[in-house]
Amino acid sequence: MSFRFRRESPLKMTALKVDESVSSKKIDRGQIVLNRIGNEWKGNGLTAAKNAAFEVGKLVAGGMLAHYRADDFWKRRFEVQLIDEKWWSTVHEAFQSGRSSLVTIDDLLAQWFPVAANDNNKDDSINAETLLGMNFAPLEYVVPGYVVEGLTVLAGKPKLGKSWWAYDASIAVATGGKAMGSVDCEQGDVLYLALEDNPRRVQSRLLTLCPARKVQGIDLGRLTVRTIAPRIDTGLLAELDKWRLASASPRLVIIDVFLKVRPPRKKGEDPYSADYDAVTPLQRYASEHRLAIVLVTHTRKMAADDPLEAVSGTNGVTGAADAVLVLNRDGKGTTIYGRGRDIEEIETAMRFDAGRWSILGDADEVRKSDERRKIIAALKAAKEAQSPKAIADLTGMKPVNARVLLGKMVASGEVSQPSVGFYIVPYPKPL
């Protein structure tokens, strides 16, 4: 016997109105989800049918829907038309696969009925004096100075090395090692969703960063890597919870990249609201469970005065996050800039070499050091005293910056001033 889509008209379902006075136990959540599956099920393609069948199977597996109601759904959605056993067998196999899923009712509730991070119907009023008398555990840094518990957005241009940074941080936390070559991390369990990689590439990157792990006694057993994961609106939080509950000390989740888990924007939806609502469930989950979640995304092609403005998407992405890190490379070098609710504003000069990130120091200090070296090299090449304007032209610096730095270099003895307004490199003193 074969089944196919009705071509006359799509299945028409209306949203179930729920009386707020009715106990939540009486709400027919299974029917609500079936309505949504029916409404979101587009086209006659086999892929669409398989996806729907899998989701209906999960409802049965998790106890949200009786098996006979799933059968009734198929009867309403399909009609006997042609003998196509192969087509139906494929769809039925997807349904059985869904039925075999190890999902619980809580998983299904998290997938289909996520609770808003800011539930405006909830009254959490508290007297200010009572609040001041409460004791809260201090926030924990997972990568000290850079990643704290909560949601952190890591943005950067394509191919700049964001994923390498993520692998580096994952290994450092999973092994209790050093991130970026110098930042000590407390050991804990890590989940890395490498959604743009495949197992072969994951292996290659791990071997690049830990080439002699057996000799050095490095154990990566606390790092879990996945290359496939559902979207935020189709079960990602349930998958995160399975990992969290199975881990001895869950500390870090990295999602690489955001576009792979982002819910599709609804027609006519405000872009800012769509971005904010997409990110908020991750922020809420991280805060509730005191985890650090790093959400990797891209930056725009257009330059921006504020590094946070360079993050791809609207300000809804950065607005919902607890902190933002931006990797950037320009004529002044490579930096990682950070700002957030619970971290101090930072800008660190970085070096990227053969898959490894390392810290050079505070970006301003490193830039000044580079500029000092440029000035000394320019004066040595000129072989005679130069004015700040001439030095600025030789080094590519702004004249005002060159003048200020030259004053500091005179004070430190790096350059001398034979006459007012002119500078040279002092000759070494004879022995």
Residue 349 scores a pLDDT above 50: yes
Residue 328 scores a pLDDT above 60: yes
Residue 21 scores a pLDDT above 70: no
The whole-angstrom separation of Cα 34 and Cα 55 is 9
Q: How confident is the model at residue 116 (pLDDT cuts 50, 70, 90)?
A: low
Q: 187-196, 331-340, 354-363 — which one is most confidently predicted on average?
A: 187-196
Question: Which residues, other chains included, contact 384 with Cβ-Cβ below 8 Å and sequence gap of 6+?
Answer: 424
- 295-313 mean pLDDT: 84
Residue 4 scores a pLDDT above 50: no
- 354-376 mean pLDDT: 84
Q: How confident is the model at residue 13 (pLDDT cuts 50, 70, 90)?
A: very low
Question: Which residues, other chains included, contact 100 with Cβ-Cβ below 8 Å and sequence gap of 6+?
Answer: 57, 61
Backbone angles phi, psi at 50, to 5 degrees: -65, -45
- 347-353 mean pLDDT: 91
Nearest by Cα to 31 from 12, 42, 52, 16? 16
Per-residue pLDDT at 199: 93
Instruction: Set out the domains of the chain in order of their start, with CATH numbers.
Output: 3-112 (no CATH), 141-344 (3.40.50.300), 366-424 (1.10.10.10)
Per-residue pLDDT at 148: 94
Q: 50-64, 117-131, 417-431 — which one is most confidently predicted on average?
A: 50-64
Residue 115: helix, strand or coil by DSSP? coil
Residue 16 scores a pLDDT above 80: no
pLDDT digit string (tens) for 262-275?
Answer: 988 888 888 898 88
The whole-angstrom separation of Cα 283 and Cα 230 is 17
Question: Which amino acid belongs to residue 326?
Answer: V
pLDDT digit string (tens) for 172-207?
Answer: 999 999 999 999 999 999 999 999 999 999 999 999
- Between CA 171 and CA 179, with CA 175 as vertex, the angle to 5 degrees is 50
Virtual torsion, Cα 387, 388, 391, 392, nearest 10 deg:
-150
Task: Check if the beta carbon of residue 243 is closer than 8 Å to that of residue 285.
Answer: no
Task: Check if the beta carbon of residue 413 is closer than 8 Å to that of residue 375.
Answer: no
- 323-350 mean pLDDT: 90
Across the strands, what pairs with 348? 336, 362
Is 376 exposed, middle or buried, given 0-12, 13-18 or 19+ CB atoms closer than 10 A? middle
The length of the chain in residues reads: 431
- 42-46 mean pLDDT: 62
Q: How confident is the model at residue 36 (pLDDT cuts 50, 70, 90)?
A: confident
Per-residue pLDDT at 50: 77
- 27-40 mean pLDDT: 80
Residue 287 scores a pLDDT above 80: yes
The share of the chain scoring above pLDDT 90, in percent, equals 35
Residue 321 scores a pLDDT above 80: yes
Per-residue pLDDT at 112: 82
- 81-90 mean pLDDT: 63
Per-residue pLDDT at 124: 76
Per-residue pLDDT at 118: 53
What's the token pair of residue 132?
């001041």
Per-residue pLDDT at 122: 66
Helix (H) or strand (E) holding 54: helix 46-61
Across the strands, what pairs with 374? none
The whole-angstrom separation of Cα 399 and Cα 395 is 10
Residue 306 scores a pLDDT above 50: yes
CA 409: distance to chain centroid?
43
- 333-349 mean pLDDT: 90
Task: Check if the beta carbon of residue 35 is closer than 8 Å to that of residue 77.
Answer: no
Annotate 197-235 with DSSP letters as a single string.
--HHHHHHHHHHH-TTHHHHT---TTEEEES----GGGT
The span from the first CA to the last CA of the chain, in angstroms, equals 102
Task: Check if the beta carbon of residue 104 is closer than 8 Å to that of residue 61.
Answer: no
Average pLDDT in the chain: 82
CA 141: distance to chain centroid?
17
Residue 23 scores a pLDDT above 50: no
pLDDT digit string (tens) for 372-410?
Answer: 888 888 888 888 888 999 988 888 888 888 888 888 888
pLDDT digit string (tens) for 211-244?
Answer: 877 777 889 999 999 999 999 988 899 899 999 9
Per-residue pLDDT at 139: 86
Residue 402: helix, strand or coil by DSSP? helix
Across the strands, what pairs with 148? 141
Residue at token pair 């257009």: 302
The HSE-up count of residue 276 (CA atoms within 13 Å, CB side) is 12
Is 125 exposed, middle or buried, given 0-12, 13-18 or 19+ CB atoms closer than 10 A? exposed
What's the token pair of residue 124?
């959490």
The whole-angstrom separation of Cα 21 and Cα 216 is 62
Per-residue pLDDT at 79: 53
Q: How confident is the model at residue 310 (pLDDT cuts 50, 70, 90)?
A: confident
The whole-angstrom separation of Cα 109 and Cα 121 is 19
The whole-angstrom separation of Cα 208 and Cα 214 is 13
